[in-house]
Structure 1
Amino acid sequence: MKKLKTWIIFLMMGLTWGILFWLTGSKTPWMMFTPQDKDSGIIVSLGDMAGRNYDRMGFDGGQILYVKNDGTWLVGTANGELRHISGEGSELWSHSVGSGLIRSIALSPDQKTIYAGEKSPDGYLYAISVKSGDVLWKFRSYDVIGGEPDIRADPQVIHISIDQSGNIYAAAYRFTVNPDGQRSYISRILSFDKDGNLRWQFPGEKNMDAWVNWGDVSDQAGRYAFGTANYDKSKIENLEYNKNIYVLDYKDGSLVHEEAIPKAERFMSVTMRNGPSYSPDGKYLTTMTSDGRGMLFDADGHLLWTRTVAKAKEMNGTWFFAAGRDAMFAQEGVLFGTINTFSRDNWQMPAPVIHPSSNSLFLFDRDGNFKFKYTARAEIEEIAPASGVAALAVGRNVRNHNYSAHGAEIISLKDGSRLNFYHTAGPLQSIAISDDGQWVAGIEVPAVTPEGSLLGAYRLHLWNRFENSKG
């Protein structure tokens, strides 16, 4: 009888979950009974994630895209899931794309196909129907750049761009270990038509000995540009692909121009993460170097101007700098973003000081004239511009551990004033915003404080700025 009662209890729990899942579309429907501040917006669980050390460099959050056709959201998670979420937070479909994590997503011009790049032993690039979640085609990047599972050197499709004809441009890379024990990098640019046929690859016959982290395409310019970010200790001059910006003809992948950026004072190399990016009219290209310089180039990658927004500063014989990361265009001008403060000699350790230009958003017009600087209270993990505003995902301040700073900030691009702030318990790692600036989505991740406390959870927040108007 006792065993029968146990089975009845489990059966009732299963039936209850099934009914709530049918009503809410959420895999964790009990969250609907959790008291929440209305300014937290709609919350959707993204599954389990272990809390990371708060001071650890780099958190995997996920990717978000807004689908303007129907006001829904596409979310790629660190658990290897691609999920389609309605504007009300219900799950329309989910698809597990492999054993790794989603590193990049992009939408076709007609918003009917989503392209997702994963980090995994296979490193697939997927084309998936936005309506149904069905896989239309996939490409295995391992077949191009290889992999070394014994050292967990998995291939990954790190960034995806789409032109107006629906052609795809994907940057794939992985690391390897040299005989001297130092890491080096292997990369290749791949272009496909919308049916998954390979159009070209760069280089044509071999891989690059460089870390490629970002690329962008412009129909107006007829170009695809990418940058390099080499953090290995070998001399850059010894690498074959030792330039910083490469510009290709987007039709056939032929090299149009390569540009070497001079090293900044007190830095041994030039590295870029989130750039270069093209202006909407295709006339300009912009990037931000890790040493704190924002730059504008013409469409073919020839330098027009440089603005140093975060110069290295010395304290007791050690040089500290606010690392530059983001560069992009808005209608109001060129946006540059910096993150936390680091020591030039040790990137992995939190700095004992806060650089005055760290965790900041800068706006310049296209002639290079300074417009404003906005400083967040913690690291700006991602920037998403929209009509007249920029949404900022604010994560960790590893110097002062200001946990109240976590969340989404909406900044006016007219004067740099803060319009909205939505607090999250854990650091906010990713952000997206609708074209009209009304809807904002952000991914929160859990973090473990030095005292051992767990902050936050792995979840998606959806905010309506016209309803959740907390300033």
Structure 2
Amino acid sequence: MSSQPTTDRSVDLGAISPNGSRQLGRRSSVCLTDGGVVAGLADGTVVAFDSDRRELWRDEHDDRGSVVALAPFIDGVLAGERGASGELRFHDRETGDVRWRYRTADDLGAPQRGTRFHLPFVADLKPSGDRERAFVAARRYERADDGARNFRSVVYAFDREGTVEWRIETDASPSSLDADGERVAVAFNRCPGSHDPGLIVLDAQTGDVRRRWDPPGDGERRVGNVALAADGLYVASHADYRGYCLDDDGVRWAVALGRPVERGSETVYAYPNHVHAEASGVVFVTGNTYPEDGRETDARHPNEHTAVGVAPDGERAFVDRVGGFAHEIAAEGSRVAVPVAQHFRERDPDRHGLRVYEIANGRVHSQSTPGVATAAAVRAGRLAVVEEPVTYHDGGEQRGAYRLRLTD
């Protein structure tokens, strides 16, 4: 990829209800394949385009949930839903035909309510390094009569034919996973039940637990995201708002990212939500500012919505404000793409768009979108971004549209 991609083309994705001032959560997804791009839509449709934006195939049904996760797998594409069935599907890359499917709700249970947060949710999926297996984390949330939060979750290994090779079940909430040929690392951001560690590392072949780790800090918030690298594991901690590098001996280094700071009469913090690592270092991305007391604040954490690059020795390589909330990040090698959605406290539409970073050098590309950018993919010199419309509560004007933006 050149340092400044210039060709920006868009594809209409149809109708969708606009976002509001606050994020609605993930409801779209995108992945790049050899010569093409696949988008997962809020109504459950999966649609593929070639490099010239010509539609190749479309798979749609009325009773599906939002397609919130996509990844190339073998000769097709894996799609994961947030919906009543929490379905995982494997689509043929050439035709879009569903070659196999799995309902995670059969393991997680039916939703307690029909509202979005209660729906079974494929939180993350990753193919193994050799593409012979796919690893999937799914969860379901419910609230007990006494107000307590409860989760049911399953981590799966699927073979090429959709057979479950192994699974583990917990009462915690998985937020992400990463996998290579030997390991599967799973991050749990809420642990209100008997499952304690915020991070577990599983044997990719058997599912046996090889390692457990928990960041320091009190409360049920634990780990927001994890990345595997040849030299260790990298963790975005929700417990103490730090980024960690772990090796076989324990913590190699830690960096402060969203640690509590005083702003006037308040103490505020920001969660580190995303991490990507490879040989040249690591990038962390933080989220919204929150006060220690309550949820509303006029204060701003100095590192909210910030990308922080860290060298292999733990020294900071760059710090850059991305401008708004990132539902996810996408990465290939040393390139990290951050789709930027709304800053719900300031609601500045000029901040919507995409930021691209080189781990060692910082930002190398930026583009704006009228709507909010909610999903991204990067592969072999190409970028893909999903833009969704937004209508701020104190503005009234709809900005942007539901479209796929492609950049070469």
How far did 1:230 drift?
1.2
In the alignment, which residue of structure 2 is the partner of 1:51?
18
Q: Distance in 2 between matches of 1:327 and 1:60?
A: 18
Q: Does 1:385 align with 2:331?
A: yes
How far 1:200 sits from its partner (Å)?
A: 1.0
Give yes or no for the alignment of 1:229 onto 2:184.
no
Question: Offset of 1:460 from its aligned partner?
Answer: 0.8
**Aligned match of 2:210 in 234, 256, 280?**
256
Measured after TM superposition, the shift of residue 61 of structure 1 is 4.4
Partner of 2:145: 179
Q: In the alignment, does 2:302 pair up with 1:356?
A: yes
Q: Deviations over 1:135-179 (max 9, x none)?
A: 111111121111135454322222112111521211111011212
Query: Which structure 1 residue ranges, 5 or more long, are not aligned?
Result: 1-37, 465-471
* 1:202-281 correspondence runs (5 A): 202-203=168-169, 208-219=170-181, 222-230=182-190, 236=192, 239-263=193-217, 268-273=219-224, 275-279=225-229, 281=230
Which structure 2 residue ranges, 5 or more long, are not aligned?
Answer: none
Displacement of 1:100 in angstroms is 0.8
Counterpart of 2:368? 423
**Could you give the per-residue CA deviations for residues 321-378 of structure 1, whole angstroms, max 9, x where no partner exists?**
122101111442111111222223334x4x3122111111111122212211111233
2:329 aligns to what SS in structure 1? Answer: strand
- State the alpha-carbon separation in 1 of the partners of residues 356 and 203 from structure 2: 36
User: Is 1:42 aligned to residue 9 of structure 2?
Assistant: yes
Q: Please tell me whether residue 327 in structure 1 is matched to residue 267 in structure 2.
A: no
CA displacement, residues 107-157 of structure 1 (integer Å, 9 cap, x when unaligned): 22x4x1211111222111111111110111111112111113545432222
Matches within 5 A, 1:49-448: 49-54=16-21, 56-67=22-33, 69=34, 71-96=35-60, 98-108=63-73, 110=74, 112-150=75-113, 152=115, 153-163=118-128, 164-203=130-169, 208-219=170-181, 222-230=182-190, 236=192, 239-263=193-217, 268-273=219-224, 275-279=225-229, 281=230, 283-290=231-238, 291-298=240-247, 302-347=250-295, 349=296, 351-386=297-332, 389-416=335-362, 418-435=363-380, 438-448=381-391
Q: Is the 8 A contact 2:356 2:365 kept in 1?
A: yes
Point out which structure has higher relative CO (alpha carbons under 8 A, 6+ apart). 2
- 2 CA distance for matches of 1:202 and 1:106? 22
> CA offsets, 1:307-326, max 9 Å, x none?
11222112344321122101
Q: Normalising by the residue count of structure 2, what TM-score does the alignment of the two structures yield?
A: 0.91
1:17 aligned partner: none
Alpha-carbon spacing, 1:380–1:268, altered in 2? closer, same or farther (3 Å): same
Percent identity of the aligned residues?
23
What is the CA distance between 1:182 and its match in structure 2?
Answer: 2.8
| Distance (Å, rounded) in 2 between the aligned partners of 1:390 and 1:186 | 31
Question: Is contact 2:258–2:304 with CA below 8 Å preserved after alignment?
Answer: yes
**Deviation per CA, 1:201-227, whole angstroms, max 9, x where unpaired?**
114xxxx111112112221xx221101
The whole-number CA distance in structure 2 between the counterparts of 1:310 and 1:148 is 33
Aligned to 1:371, the other structure's residue is in SS state: strand
Measure how far apart 1:39 and its partner are. 6.9
Cα RMSD (Å): 2.2
Equivalent residue letter for 2:233: L
Per-residue deviation, 1:194 = 0.7
Whose helix fraction is larger, Structure 1's or Structure 2's? 1
Deviation at 1:383, TM superposition (A): 2.8
Shift of 1:298: 2.5
Q: Is the contact made by 1:322 and 1:341 (CA closer than 8 Å) also made in structure 2?
A: yes
Q: 1:251 to 1:410 in 2, by over 3 A?
A: closer
Alpha-carbon separation, structure 2, partners of 1:399 and 1:156? 27
* Superposition deviation, residue 262 in structure 1: 1.0
Deviations 1:385-420 (A, max 9, x none): 34654322122122332211211223344422x433
Tell me if the contact between 2:214 and 2:222 (Cα under 8 Å) persists in the aligned partners: no
Q: Which has the larger radius of gyration?
A: 1
Q: Structure 1 425/297 Cα, relative in aligned 2: closer, same or farther at 3 Å?
A: same
Does the C-alpha gap of structure 1 residues 399 and 199 become closer, same or farther in structure 2, counting only changes over 3 Å? Answer: same
SS in 2 for 1:143: helix
